[in-house]
Amino acid sequence: MKQFILPVFVSAALSTSSLSAGGSTVSFTGEIVAGACGIDAGSLDQTVRLGVVSANRFKAAGDRSASQTFDVTLTDCDTSVARNAYFTFIGTGHPAAPALLGVVGAARNVGVRLQAASGEYIDNGFEQKRPIVLQHGSNVVRFSAMYEATAATVTPGRADAVANFRVRYH
C-alpha cells in the first residue's frame, strides 16, 4: 500500500511544480469582535476626497470648505446586545486646534473637521455626544469631512490627514 501511494504523491508533486510559473501570496485578515455589530470591509481604509479648494475661500479662523460625505456600514447589528453606537475618530491633532485633524503637506493654517449626520462636530480623539440609534441588521452611518481654517490666512499646498475610528456600543 505504501508503494502505491508514494508514486502517486511524487507524480502529483512533479506535475504541479512543472506547471507552476511563480508563487504569490494570498493573505486573509479580519477580526472577531464582541460588539453589537460588525463593520463592513468596504468601510475600512477609505479615502475621502476633499477636493481642490482655493485658499481664498478662507478669510478667518473657523471658515470651512464644502463638506464631503463618507459612510461606515455596521453589519449584523443585534439590538438585544446594544441599541446605540458612539464613534470616536483619532488622528494627529492640529497644533493650533487639536479638535481638528492636523494635515500633512505644504498647506498651513488648515485642518480637517469631522461632522456626524446629526450636525454634531466630532472633535479629534473625543467620542461623539449624540448616539447613533441602531436598527437590527445593517446600519449605514454617515459622516462628513471638510477643511477648516485655523487662521485668517491659509497657505496653499497639499493637505492630507488620517484618522482611525472606534465604535463603542451601549
pLDDT of residue 82 exceeding 70: yes
User: pLDDT band at residue 10, thresholds of 50, 70 and 90?
Assistant: very low
Is it the case that residue 13 has pLDDT exceeding 70? no
Q: Is the pLDDT of residue 2 over 60?
A: no
Name the amino acid, one letter, at 23: G
CA separation (Å) from 81 to 5, 135, 169? 53, 12, 9
Location of C-alpha cell 502505491: 4
Residue 119 has pLDDT above 90, yes or no: yes
Is pLDDT of 9 > 90?
Answer: no
CA distance linking residue 114 with residue 147, whole number of Å: 9
> What are the CA-CA distances from residue 25 to residues 22, 28, 64 (Å)?
10, 10, 44
pLDDT of residue 149: 98
Residue 16 has pLDDT above 50, yes or no: no
* d(C-alpha 44, C-alpha 161), whole Å: 15
Length of the chain: 170
pLDDT at 34: 74
Supply the mean pLDDT for the chain. Answer: 88
Dump pLDDT digits (tens) for 45-57.
Answer: 999 999 999 999 9
Distance between CA atoms of residues 39 and 90, nearest Å: 17
Spatial distance between the Cα atoms of 96 and 49, rounded to a whole number of angstroms: 23
pLDDT one-digit tens code per residue, 132-151: 999 999 999 999 999 999 99
